[in-house]
Structure 1
Amino acid sequence: MTVRKRLWILLAAALLAATAATGYVWHARDTAEAAATGTVRLDAAGRILFRNTAPGAGFGRIASVATARPGGPRTVGAPACDRVYAAHGTGLCLQRTGPVPGTSVTVLDRALRKVRRLRTAGFPNRARVSADGAMLSWTMFVRGDSYLRDDFSTRTGILDTRTGRLTGDIERIPLTLDGRPYQAADVNYWGVTFAPDDTTFYATVRTAGRTYLVRGDYRKWTARTLRSNAECPSLSPDGTRLVFKKRVSASANRPWRLYVLDLATMRERPLAEARSVDDQAAWLDGRTVMYGLPRHGGGWDVWAVPADGGGTPRLLVRDASSPAALTG
């Protein structure tokens, strides 16, 4: 075969690959546009944002429903996410990428336009945005895929959207455990939630086989444990309580239960949801928390339960996960 013929073959192959790639991009864009049923805005107060898990073209895409009619018609937007959260017109979308396990971390504006995109290793697990939309955090599984496995490892990042300061992994934050400075190679953080001052945050830390609730200071770059056996905290709108999941059984069937902790008294109260919830619950309002639960036989739904320990759980949004209450 002549050199000229080889060059023509290589050129044809390159053109074919480019055409296929272009076709894929246009197909993906057309699919996203076809799946969208309307305009989802992150500054639309009185709506619940979530990941749509209803079968069909809109599966996995950002969606919203009216808070007053959570069982009513939903609006599905174009972006697809494995985990989503939003507050004050700022959104955070985590989406798996492949074939090598990785995640695209995308910051969205109020109209779901991309503001910034980061790449990180691992599988998307948790996402949070501070109440004023300034501080963002995400957690990835980088080894293992379940909090029930002993070999799991996490990577948790924080982004300050005002300054652009990015901390890709907070595991090196100086930790005080039970009143003493602590260092260990197995320290893992996950499930960050921010206080209104945008410097105080709460999170879970795991080391030596135990989990702890920590209070951190972003500006001073310190963290200290508050109590043991508390995971995936979420701060109430008034900043006085945390909802979290607590390990109540060694069984893999029903290992966790949701609790609410009063930060002034450090007294905890179990919620009426007796099923095991493996989620970072969110606050629907000051009296109610919401969370994703897998359905028996497949699929996900968002449920709600009173935060005072009374009442009964109720189905809030069917075929949904990763909820957030939009406040404008």
Structure 2
Amino acid sequence: MKKIVLALAGTALLVAAAAVYTVSSRHDADATPAAQLTLGPGQLLFRDTPSGRIGAVPLAEPGAKPQLSGLKCDRFAVAEQTAVCLAVEPGTLPAMTDVLVLDDHLAVRHTEKLPGTPSRARVSPDGKRVDWTLFVTGDSYAQTGFSTRAGLYEVDTGRLVKTIEELPVFVGDQRYFAADVNYWGITFAPDGNRFYATLGSKGKTYLVEADYKRYRGKAIRENVECPSLSPDATRVAFKKKVGDGVWRLSVLDLKTLEETELAEQQSVDDQALWQDDHTVLYGRDNAVWAVPADGSGAPRKLVQGAASPAVTG
């Protein structure tokens, strides 16, 4: 079964930019000496957008001068002692992405080379799963000219799932079938088994709750994109489409299905990240921002010239 991304203006721009992106994924030198980063508690990591390198600041002092590693990525994520770096290979047509599975010193433990350009990346809270979403081109049904592939890698077993497109999903009481089904934005629960993702098909998006061991899922809410499960596994932060190319950040209570719009008033085209059970991080306008998860307060800029935030516990 193939998959299609909805015609989203912001996404199309991201694909176009990724297609011409030429920064290497490997540990490169440039004008700034590379720091030897080690994953430790209380860090805010991010992609430094001017250089493409992964940087880090103390979470308690985000305004501090960042340490920049030599690792260059388009998307980055971390949990426990595992990190993942998605880096598009320069000059390849069709585009290819290196999925780099990293240890706590950001040294490469495993590499997969997959077709497409980077979109989203996550590591399960137990550090045993890395997952990603890539944009791909060539699906005949894709009116926008591109589709997605969401896949994962089991760090402890070495098992690769190139795409979850065969995941059986029920919408209501019926098994859902459609040629244009696509998934993106995987997020795992702390048990490493329950996970959530967006299913897109026929102009609609659904939040899917799935069981990895049983390998089946069910749609539990419409108009949910790029879910991110809270540390206590009771809520999902997500982007909700409110207009063409416009999304609002919201939080969904998984027990009551009550939605709370967050205080960020600008459009956010990102998969949010929970700093803790009370604060949501995200990228917008070439910066990493934080906003309270209960709808109160106001957005707070943490790091300028940054994207793809990740935090260590």
Q: Which range, TM-score by smaller chain?
A: 0.7 to 0.9
User: Among 162, 167, 180, which residue is 1:186 paired with?
Assistant: 180
In the alignment, does 2:290 pair up with 1:283? no
CA distance in 2, matches of 1:132, 1:29: 26
State the one-letter code of the partner of 1:264. K
Question: Where does residue 223 of structure 2 map in the other structure?
Answer: 229
Structure 1 residue corresponding to 2:147, chosen from 146, 149, 153: 153
* Native 8 Å contact 1:32 1:79 kept in 2: no
The superposition leaves residues 105-141 of structure 1 with CA deviations (integer Å, 9 ceiling, x where unpaired) of: 0000000111000011111000000111111100001
Q: Is 2:76 aligned against 1:84?
A: yes
Cα offset, 1:150, TM superposition? 4.3
Quote the Cα distance in structure 2 between the aligned partners of 1:109 and 1:160. Answer: 14
RMSD: 1.8
CA distance in 1, matches of 2:193, 2:25: 39
Bigger relative contact order, structure 1 or 2 (CA pairs below 8 A, ≥6 apart): 2
2:308 aligned partner: 322
Which secondary structure does the structure 2 equivalent of 1:32 belong to?
coil
1:127 maps to 2:121 = yes
Correspondence for 1:263 among 240, 254, 257? 254
Kindly state the Cα deviation for residue 158 of structure 1 after the two structures are TM-superposed: 1.1
SS of the residue corresponding to residue 105 of structure 2 reads coil
* 1:182 partner letter: Y
Alignment of 1:306 with 2:292, yes or no, is yes
Aligned match for 2:100, one of 81, 106, 131: 106
Counterpart of 2:48 in structure 1 is 52
Change (3 A) 1:30 1:137: closer
2:192 counterpart residue number: 198
* Preserved contact between residue 292 and residue 323 of structure 1 (Cα < 8 Å): yes
The residue aligned with 1:96 is: 88
What SS class does the counterpart of residue 131 from structure 2 fall into? Answer: strand
Letter of the 2:277 counterpart:
G
Q: What's the CA shift for 1:191?
A: 0.1
1:308 partner amino acid: D
Q: CA deviation at 1:246?
A: 0.3
Cα contact 2:63–2:302 (8 A) shared by 1: yes
Q: Deviations over 1:226-248 (max 9, x none)?
A: 11000000011111111000001
TM-superposition CA deviations, 1:285-325 (whole Å, max 9, x none): 1111010012xxxxx10011000001000101111100011
Give the direction of change, closer, same or farther, for the CA distance of 1:168–1:135 in structure 2 (3 Å limit). same
- 5 Å-filtered alignment, 1:208-247, equals 208-247=202-241
* 1:291-302 matched pairs, under 5 angstroms: 291-294=282-285, 300-302=286-288
**AA in 2 matched with 1:217:** D
**d(CA) in 2 for partners of 1:193, 1:52:** 23
Partners of 1:201 and 1:304 in 2: CA distance: 24
Distance 1:29 1:302, change over 3 A: closer
Q: 1:274 to 1:28 in 2, by over 3 A?
A: closer
Check 1:200–1:29 CA distance in 2 against 1; reply closer, same or farther (3 A cut).
Answer: closer
Give how far 1:151 is off: 4.3
Alignment match of 1:61 (pick from 50, 53, 57): 53
Query: Which letter maps to 1:60?
Result: G
Which residue matches 1:8? none
3-state SS of the aligned residue for 1:120?
strand
Q: Which ranges of structure 2 fall in alignment gaps of 5 or more residues?
A: 1-23
Deviation at 1:31, TM superposition (A): 4.3
Q: Percent identity?
A: 49
Q: Deviations over 1:187-237 (max 9, x none)?
A: 000000000111110000001111000001111111110110000000111
Answer yes or no: is 1:74 the counterpart of 2:66.
yes
Counterpart CA distance in 2 for 1:36 and 1:236 is 36
Alignment equivalent of 2:37, drawn from 17, 36, 40:
40
CA distance 1:28–1:209, change in 2 (3 Å)? closer
What is the CA-CA distance between 1:184 and the residue it aligns to?
A: 1.3
Q: Which runs of 4+ in 1 moved over 4 A?
A: 27-31
